[in-house]
Amino acid sequence: MGMKRLTRQRRAVLEVVQGAKGHHPDAAWVYGEVRKVVPNISLGTVYRTLEALTEEGYLVPLSRPGEAVRYEANLDGHLHLTCRKCGQFFDIVASLPDLLSEVKARYPEYDLEGVQVEYQGLCPDCKHNA
């Protein structure tokens, strides 16, 4: 992954997302936090910065229909559990078999770039309150 030099604004945005451990913030939340560090930054700049950091592999977008895209820092090797009651994402660390190579070999006409695996169920709080 080609690491570009990060400008002050970009570093501020990245650090806010990295600091929101397990929180998976959306652009509006990131904007509110980044303004504490870079007061003159605009919401549009935050959106563009999040997109650029995603394209360069620094961030992973988590999207669900009808909701704002959430972001997290790209820390390889973890998956998500989505709680079906409160809707939050939770980080889960587990090793998976190679889910890409066999399918790539079988469908050479596609340019397959990745696989997303998501666990679904109840988080401890919702399970406890059920």
Q: Which domains does the chain have, with CATH numbers?
A: 8-73 (1.10.10.10), 78-129 (3.30.1490.190)
In the chain, % of residues over pLDDT 90? 42
83 in a known ligand binding site: yes
* Angle subtended at Cα 128 by Cα 122 and Cα 130, rounded to the nearest 5 degrees: 75
Quote the pLDDT of residue 16.
Answer: 93
Model pLDDT, residue 1: 43
From 27, 48, 46, select the one nearest 38 (Cα to Cα). Answer: 46
Task: Name the band, by pLDDT with cuts 50, 70 and 90, for residue 2.
Answer: very low
CA separation for the pair 103, 38 (Å, rounded): 45
The pLDDT-based confidence of 5 (bands split at 50, 70, 90) is: low
- Tell whether residue 97 is among the known ligand binding residues: no
Give the Cβ contact number of residue 5 at 10 Å. Answer: 6
Please tell me whether 86 is known to bind a ligand: yes
| pTM (predicted TM-score) | 0.61
Q: In this predicted model, what pLDDT tens digit does every residue of 51-107 receive, in sequence order?
A: 998 888 788 888 888 888 999 887 665 678 888 998 888 877 777 777 888 888 999
pLDDT band of residue 125 (cuts 50, 70, 90) is: very high
